[in-house]
Chain A
C-alpha cells in the first residue's frame, strides 16, 4: 500500500507538470490545447533522437524546450492567433477544434515517420531506485518531482515578480483593460502560448524514460485536463496539488479495482467534477 502511494505521488507530480502547460494557455487565453499531449510525445521523439546520437536526455531537455518554444510560437502565429478576437466560448470551441486537427496531424505524422512501435529512452540510470523507510523511490520519478517543484516555483516567480509575467497575469484577468493600459496583448498571448508548448519538454523527458508511442498523446493530455479541471480554470497555483491528488487517487483505485481501471478513475472523477463543481476544487480567486 505504501509503495503504491509512492508511485501515485510520483505520477501525480508528472501530471502536475503536464497540466501546467494546459493551465497557462487556458488561463491566459481561454484556449484549450488538445494537442499538448501530442506535442509532449513529439518532444520525446526529439529526445530519443538526441539520445541515439549520444546526448543524455536531461542534457538535451533545454534544446528540446527551445525548439518546442519556437514551434509553439509558429503554431500560434499561423493558426491560433486568429481566434483572439472571439468571445470566450468561441475561443474555447474553436481552439479545441484547431488543436484537435493538430493532434491528429502530429500523431499521424509521427506514425508515418517513426512507425507505431512503442519506444523508450533507456540511459544506464533509468532503473535505479532510492531506498527510504523501506519503500522504493525510482530515481527518475524523484527527479520528476524535483523538476516539477523547480518549474512551478520558477513560473510562479516569473508571473508574480517580473514585469512581463505581470502583463501575462493582467491579460488573463482582463483582456480589454490590459490592452487599454498599453499591454501588447497579441505579443503576450504569443509568448505565453510558446512558453506553454516549451513546458512540454519536461514531461517529454519523463514520459520518454517510461515508454511512448505516437498515439498515447491524447492519454497524457487527458491527465493534464483532469488536473486543470480539478484545480480550477486559470488557477495555476492549484495545479501541483491537484496533480498529486489525481496521482494518489489513481494509486488507491489501482489498489481497490486493479490496474486496468486506472485510467477510468481519473476520467470518472473528471466528469463528476465537471458536472458538480464546474469551478474546480482548489479555486481561490476569480481569474
Chain B
C-alpha cells in the first residue's frame, strides 16, 4: 500500500512536470499554478490545523508577509530564489513574534487570536502600501510562465514532502498526540508548547514560500491582496472538506475548490464559496474525516453488505 502511494505520488509529479510540453494554453498553466498554490497553503495549514489541532485563521498574515518581502526584494533586483527564501524566513519571524503569544492562549481561543492578527496585518499593510505594485517593463519582457510553473511545482512538492516527513517522524507522533489530548501528551513527557511552536514555524515557513510564489506570479496586485482574509479561510475550508489530518486530503480539497470555482466563474461570482461554506458546515457536523473518509465509509458499508451474503469470501477473511 505504501509502495503504491509512493509510486502514484512520483507519477503525479512526473505528469505535472511533463504537462507544459503538451499544454500550450496559458489559461490551463495558470490554473495548474493556482492549484499548486492552493496545495501549498492548504498543506502547510494542515500541519498546524490538521495534525497539531491548532486551527489557525491567521495564515493570511504569514502568506502575505512572504509575498510582501519576496516582492519587495525581487523588484529591488534580488534574484527570485534568495528573495523567496528571505520572504518565507520573514514570515517565520512574524510567526515567532506574534503567533507564539497566540499559542500561549487557551487553545480554544487560538483561532480568534490568529484571526485578530490577520486583520491587524491586513489593515496595517493596506495603510502602509495603499498603491498596487506593478512590475516594471524590464521584468515584464523577461516574464515566462514556465519558470513560475516549475517553481510553484517544486515548492508544492517540497511542502507535501516536508509535511509527510514531519508527520511520519517522532515529532509528528507528538503533534498528533497534542491534537488528540494535550493534557495526556504533556503527561507522557511531550513538551507540548515547544512542539506547537515548531509546527507553527514550519507551517508559516511553507505558507510564506507560497506567498512568494504568489508575488512572483502576479504581474500587478495591491500589496494587501495576499493579506486578505480569504487566504486564511481558503486552507481551512479546503483542508476540512478534503480531510483533516491526512496528506491527500488538502490536495483533494484544493482540487475540488479550484474546480468548483472555475465551474461557477463563468456564470456567477461567488457561488463556489456558498457551496463550499455549506459543505464545510456539513463536514464539521457529520463527516469529521472529510472527503478522504468517505471512501472508507463506503468500503465499510459494502463490507457489511457482503457479510450478509452467505458463502462470501469476505466472511472468512479473518479466520483462514
Contacts and interface: CB of A to CB of B under 8 A. Distances in A.
Interface of A: 32, 79, 82, 88-89, 92-94, 96-98, 100-105, 108-109, 111-112, 218-219, 222, 225, 260-261, 263-264, 267-268, 270-271, 274-275, 278
Interface stretch (B81-89, B252-260, B263-271, B300-308): B263-271
B277 A101 contact: yes
Q: Which of A100, A222, A225, A268 has the most CB of B within 10 A?
A: A100
A32 B120 contact: no
Nearest to A219: B119
Interface of B: 55, 57, 98, 101-102, 104-109, 111-113, 116-117, 119-120, 123-124, 127, 229, 233, 236-237, 240, 268-271, 273-274, 276-278, 280-281, 284-285
Given A101-B278, A274-B113, A275-B101, A264 B124 contact: yes
Nearest to A88: B108
Given A263-B123, A271-B116, A98 B109 contact: no
A267 B281 contact: no
Contact of A104 (B108, B117, B233): B233
B119 A222 contact: yes
A89 B105 contact: no
A103 B278 CA distance: 10
B107 A108 contact: no
A275 B105 contact: yes
Given A263-B119, A264-B123, A102 B111 contact: no
A102 B270 contact: no
A267 B57 CA distance: 14
21 contacts: A79-B281, A88-B108, A93-B108, A94-B284, A96-B108, A97-B280, A98-B284, A98-B285, A101-B237, A101-B284, A103-B277, A104-B276, A104-B280, A111-B270, A218-B119, A219-B119, A267-B117, A268-B120, A271-B98, A271-B113, A274-B105
Given A111-B270, A274-B105, A275-B105, A104 B277 contact: yes
A278 B105 CA distance: 7
Contacts of A264: 120, 123-124
Contact of B269 (A32, A96, A111): A111
Contacts of B274: 104-105, 108-109, 112
Given A79-B281, A98-B285, A100-B236, A112 B117 contact: no
Given A260-B127, A264-B123, A275-B101, A96 B112 contact: yes
Given A104-B276, A108-B274, A271-B101, 5 more contacts: A108-B277, A112-B271, A222-B119, A260-B127, A278-B106
- Closest CB pairs A-B (n = 7): A104-B277, A92-B108, A101-B281, A105-B277, A101-B280, A108-B273, A260-B127
A256 to B, nearest CB: 15
Given A97-B284, A100-B236, A263-B119, A112 B269 contact: yes
B283 to A, nearest CB: 9
Contact of B119 (A89, A96, A267): A267
Contact of A102 (B127, B229, B269, B277): B277
Given A101-B277, A101-B280, A270 B123 contact: no
Nearest to A104: B277
B285 A82 contact: yes
A102 B112 CA distance: 16
A100 B98 CA distance: 23
Contacts of A261: 123-124, 127
B55 to A, nearest CB: 7
Contacts of B285: 79, 82, 98
Contacts of A112: 268-271, 274
Q: Which of A88, A94, A101 has the most CB of B within 10 A?
A: A101
